[in-house]
Amino acid sequence: MSNLTLIAILLMLMAVAYQMGLMRSRAVARGSSERMHSRPGYYGWLVALWCGLPALLVFLIWSAVEPSVIRAVVLSELPPEMANLTAQQITVLMRRLNDIASGFGVAGDIAPYEAAAADALSRLRNIGQLAKISVMASLALAGLVVARRRIQAGLRARNHVEKVVSVLLALCSGVAILTTVGIVFSMFGEAMHFFSFVSPIDFFFGTTWNPRFSTTGAGGQGEFGLLPLLWGTLMVSFIALLVAVPIGLMTAIYMAEYAPSWLRSVAKPVIEVLAGIPTIVYGVFALLVIGPFFASVGNMLGIQIRATSALTAGFVMGVMIIPFVSSLSDDIITQVPQSLRDGSLGLGATKSETIRQVVLPAALPGIVGAFLLAASRAIGETMIVVLAAGNSPVLHANPLEAVSTVTVTIVNQLTGDTDFASPQSLVAFALGLTLFVITLGLNVVALYIVRKYREQYD
């Protein structure tokens, strides 16, 4: 029985426990002169939680510990001459034993000790699965019986259920926070390893990007100057904002102030569909349509415009982030109190004057926050610039030429067979950490602006 099937059975058992708790609470309510403390549904949830949570906890702990225990037992039964295997050799051996135990074909002849170890592995897994099912079933049934018997009029079922829910929500928040912290620390550790090869001054202030794929000596490492990549990232993002900010803001103003309700209900979801299109589709669109179009326009005007350039990538990226700007700005504009509009109109201002001189200044902090969030989205974009920017890590100020960005370089450095102990691969973590700091700073500034000035207009 697979773990997924086991979880499905546990959920069905919790559903049965919920119904039993519900019926038990109603029976107690009919036979008692006291008023029930909570609604019947809370008693049902209490029984379901008592039934499911202990069994689920055992399942999680068992699933985490069982592989290590089985691995140790199987390795202890190997011949004495195999006691000095390295960690990598043990990993390869366990993978081979797993294939033998699962019935998959393996290369070469199966040694007698491998067959015996595979049999032991299969036997231990079966025993562990049966034991896990037995323990979980026992705990689930015991929890169901105990919780059902505890149901009485004075039982504060709602308080218990809400406490469990609050703990679960806190655990979910903790998982999200710990995941972010783990990502940051993993990048930080590998970035520090990279800086043991390359000086941070050469990295952050270097103007040449030329990582040569050699790890023999300092001269063979290449040059890892960040400035060309950072400048390309900022150039593409700036072009994207030049496209997205005016169009998105004008769209938001029209949707919030001028559009009839029927048009708003149709047009707003249609615009937001742009945010759901995969970025690889935008990249292919930029490569096959927008890039050649810009190149042909440049030929007509006598200007050399490369099909893959900062202009192409920035324009398509701007189209992609239009929904971010328009949707956030629309929500902020609609939150401006109607009394401000009525006061302006009552003093004789026109609708356009009211929007320009009252509504937009009132919503300006939130709109600026929306712009900064859109900028952080543009800085972190990958697939569009991979296909449309041209991948030329050269420091120049011409948006009609090819550029390279931080995200493109991360993809290039981690593509193919790489040695993760070399600076050519470790630089991806330094680039990722730099990009993380930039986007985090933009998000912090945006949230600070929104929170600081929002209450002035509530």
Residue 416, pLDDT score: 61
Residue 9, pLDDT score: 86
Residue 107, pLDDT score: 63
Band the pLDDT of 209: cuts 50, 70, 90.
confident
More confident residue, 417 or 277: 277
Query: Is residue 255 within 8 Å of 428, Cβ to Cβ?
Result: no
In this structure, of 153-167, 189-203, 257-271, 412-426, the range with the lowest mean pLDDT score is 412-426
- 197 pLDDT more than 70: yes
Query: Is residue 317 within 8 Å of 236, Cβ to Cβ?
Result: yes
295-319 mean pLDDT: 90
List pLDDT tens digits, range 366-385. Answer: 888 888 888 888 888 888 88
DSSP output for 16-76 = HHHHHHHHHHHHHHHH-SSPPSS-HHHHHHHHHHHHHHHHHHHHHHHHHHHHHHHHHHHHH
List pLDDT tens digits, range 331-346. Answer: 888 888 888 888 988 8
- 450 pLDDT more than 80: no
Band the pLDDT of 419: cuts 50, 70, 90.
low
Residue 240, pLDDT score: 93
56-70 mean pLDDT: 87
Domains of the chain with CATH codes: 3-155 (no CATH), 223-457 (1.10.3720.10)
More confident residue, 324 or 99: 324
Residue 97, pLDDT score: 77
Residue 418, pLDDT score: 57
% of the chain with per-residue pLDDT over 70: 93
Band the pLDDT of 237: cuts 50, 70, 90.
very high
Band the pLDDT of 106: cuts 50, 70, 90.
low
- 239 pLDDT more than 80: yes
DSSP output for 244-277 = HHHHHHHHHHIIIIIS-HHHHHHHHHHHHGGGGS
Residue 238, pLDDT score: 93
pTM of the model: 0.71
Angstrom distance (rounded) from CA 98 to CA 105? 11
Query: Is residue 205 within 8 Å of 409, Cβ to Cβ?
Result: no
Residue 219, pLDDT score: 45
292-302 mean pLDDT: 90
List pLDDT tens digits, range 2-35. Answer: 778 888 888 888 888 888 888 888 888 887 777 8
- 250 pLDDT more than 90: yes
216-239 mean pLDDT: 79
More confident residue, 198 or 111: 198
More confident residue, 218 or 21: 21
User: Looking at 388-440, which runs of residues are DSSP E strands?
Assistant: none
- 40 pLDDT more than 60: yes
Residue 170, pLDDT score: 92
Torsion of CA 18, 20, 25, 29, to 10 degrees: 150
Mean pLDDT rounded to a whole number for the chain = 84
Angstrom distance (rounded) from CA 193 to CA 419? 13
In this structure, of 35-49, 112-126, 317-331, 349-363, the range with the lowest mean pLDDT score is 112-126
Residue 218, pLDDT score: 42
Q: What are residue 404's phi and psi, to 5 degrees? A: -130, 150
Residue 189, pLDDT score: 86
Band the pLDDT of 210: cuts 50, 70, 90.
confident
